[in-house]
Amino acid sequence: MRYLLGWSRTKIASGLLATTMIFMGACSSGEVSSSGESSSSGSNSGKVIRIAIGTQDQVINTAVGGATVRELELLEKHLPTDGKYEGVKYDIQWSSYTSGPPITNKMLADQIDIGLMGDFPATINLIKFQQEAADADTIFIGTLAYSPNGAGNAVVVPKDSDAKTLADLKGGTVSVPFGSAAHGMLLKALADAGLDPETDVELISQAPEVGGSSLRTGQIDAHADFVPFGELFPFRGFARKIFDGAQTGVPTLHGITVRSDFAEEYPEIVVAYLKAVLEANQMFQDDPEGISAQIEEWSGVEKEVVYMFLGPSGLQTLDPTIGEVQVSTLKNSITTLTSLGKIEKPVNPEEVVNWIDESYLLTAMEELGLNYDEVIATAEAYQITGKDALTGEAIEDPKLAAQFWVQGEETVTNFASIANMVKALSALQTEGQAADVMFVHDYNNGWKLFAENAYFVSNGDEVAAFLVEADAQTYASSTGGQMTAFRGLQDLYADRQPVLVGAQQ
């Protein structure tokens, strides 16, 4: 479904449109002369248009709209330079935050024009503007990355913790950024596990960096968070994931909001920004390892974790469109935030449709020669393909595929099966080489997993991986297979020394 001009401009139509010409040079419109004085209405000479964008560099779901666009100067490439923009100068101001709420505050103060944030912060952003701002609203204009099942949110415990399930956290202290999508995920997950969040655990609010420190020092029993920390902390070796948001089946996303006054005065700039996002998506799909390595430089988040989320068969889908999944995500955010007491005045979840306007994205696609349905199809087809690096056989089922990233190599090596990957890894280690990371996929659901943190069931050369230990136990019982950890799998193939036929690109 395409949400064309779904957002209602009733609130500001009578005032803004009537006064646009009067305030064309005012600071609130973002246009000032290079000397700090208002530009004349008859010439663009010396006119400066501010474009202030708030992103979250460490929250790598925003990378295609934030760091990638910023560092590769993709927005500059697409900004208009003719018509009413002929002769203008652009003042592009980037700022990065650890969460969405500061971005909303800056947008309310007219210090940020375009904000990138997760579903819960985006919902609060839209509601705050509707209920508190007198001069503008915000519009939801596109998606950065999303998961239809909630992958990306997660609960982790210290690596040496005895806890294997949420039920094991009873009586413990669990931290989570209050008001985030991870908070909503945690409450649902605890309830599903038979725990009362009010009495069975002590919930405290901690930002990602604080939660990570608390895990390291043993001050908390578990930490729940959003992308990428549920994978980043285990990758860094001090935490272990015991619950993935995908187990809730509740979708999550990161998206783009823009101030309505900015979008109405400068629609061509909003379109230019979305062109930059579309190009960033394409660049990532063309070279996921290369862009992941660059994002590591820009954000400090290791390339392997970036690739896990945004690479082929990753945890998140790079699809800029706004479909039913995205609408459902935002509606769920309203419902959950209301139950958490984060929305003071009642809001009908159906209001979401009135905040969405996909017309800017459609124009961006049209001007780039892209087809809307093909963009969606490309995102859905962004899976592991090609040939097995060990046997040369075709990789037909991405859910059964496995990968490793050899230290010092620029690309990931792909395999049609976990068994082939482990055999190749054994040979690699015999040669004195090592892999920085090994990826497998949950046998039941296809979720991408770090191999060292997964549960396995082996039947000869048939190996299945699972996120949840109970799922592995069930599969082992039904097939007569043997449950093992990844180290156990390696031992099974330790004496085999196959030769790789060539890495698959």
pLDDT digits (tens, 9 = 90+) for 367-390: 999 999 999 999 999 999 999 999
Dist CA 277 CA 284 (whole Å) = 11
pLDDT at position 31: 40
Which CA distances in Å does 160 have to 166, 169, 216? 16, 14, 10
Which CA distances in Å does 192 have to 165, 197, 276? 12, 11, 41
Q: List pLDDT tens digits, range 387-404.
A: 999 999 999 999 999 999
Helix (H) or strand (E) holding 128: helix 119-132
pLDDT at position 25: 35
Residue ranges covered by each domain of the chain: 48-146+251-380, 154-248, 398-495
**What band does 504 get if pLDDT is binned at 50, 70 and 90?**
very low
Mean pLDDT of the region 476-481: 96
pLDDT at position 345: 87
Q: Both ends of the chain: CA-CA distance in Å?
A: 34
**What band does 194 get if pLDDT is binned at 50, 70 and 90?**
very high
pLDDT above 70 covers a percentage of the chain that reads 89
| Listed residue (141, 107, 112) closest to 124, CA to CA | 107
| Listed residue (8, 106, 66, 123) closest to 310, CA to CA | 66
Sign of CA dihedral 289, 290, 291, 295: positive
pLDDT at position 33: 34
Pairing of strands 31-33, 455-459: unpaired
Whether 21 shows a pLDDT value over 60: the answer reads no
Whether 17 shows a pLDDT value over 90: the answer reads no
Residue type, 351: E
Looking at the domain that runs over 48-146+251-380, which CATH code has it been given? 3.40.190.10
Asked if residues 303 and 412 have their Cβ atoms less than 8 Å apart, the reply is no
**Residue 237 CB neighbour total at 10 angstroms:** 9
Asked if residues 472 and 404 have their Cβ atoms less than 8 Å apart, the reply is no
Which CA distances in Å does 255 have to 114, 116, 320, 395? 11, 6, 8, 32
pLDDT at position 45: 73
Dist CA 459 CA 463 (whole Å) = 6
pLDDT at position 437: 96
Whether 1 shows a pLDDT value over 60: the answer reads no
Mean pLDDT of the region 328-340: 92
Pairing of strands 413-415, 448-450: unpaired
Asked if residues 309 and 228 have their Cβ atoms less than 8 Å apart, the reply is yes
Q: What is the DSSP letter of 157?
A: E
Whether 67 shows a pLDDT value over 70: the answer reads yes
Q: List pLDDT tens digits, range 25-49.
A: 333 334 433 333 334 444 677 899 9
Whether 490 shows a pLDDT value over 60: the answer reads yes
Mean pLDDT of the region 119-134: 94
**What band does 206 get if pLDDT is binned at 50, 70 and 90?**
very high
**What band does 492 get if pLDDT is binned at 50, 70 and 90?**
confident
| Listed residue (196, 233, 234, 203) closest to 221, CA to CA | 203
Q: Which distant-in-sequence residues (6+ apart) come within 8 Å of 77 by Cβ?
A: 276, 279
Whether 454 shows a pLDDT value over 60: the answer reads yes
Whether 261 shows a pLDDT value over 60: the answer reads yes
Burial of 323: CB neighbours in 10 Å, binned 0-12, 13-18, 19+ = middle
pLDDT at position 495: 59
**What band does 247 get if pLDDT is binned at 50, 70 and 90?**
very high
Query: 398-495 belongs to which CATH class?
Result: alpha beta
Structure tokens at 306: 């970036």
CATH number 3.40.50.410 is the correct assignment for the domain at 154-248: no
Mean pLDDT of the region 468-473: 93
Q: In whole angstroms, how large is the CA radius of gyration of the chain?
A: 24
**CATH topology match: 48-146+251-380 vs 154-248:** yes
Asked if residues 250 and 148 have their Cβ atoms less than 8 Å apart, the reply is no
Calculate the average pLDDT of the chain: 89
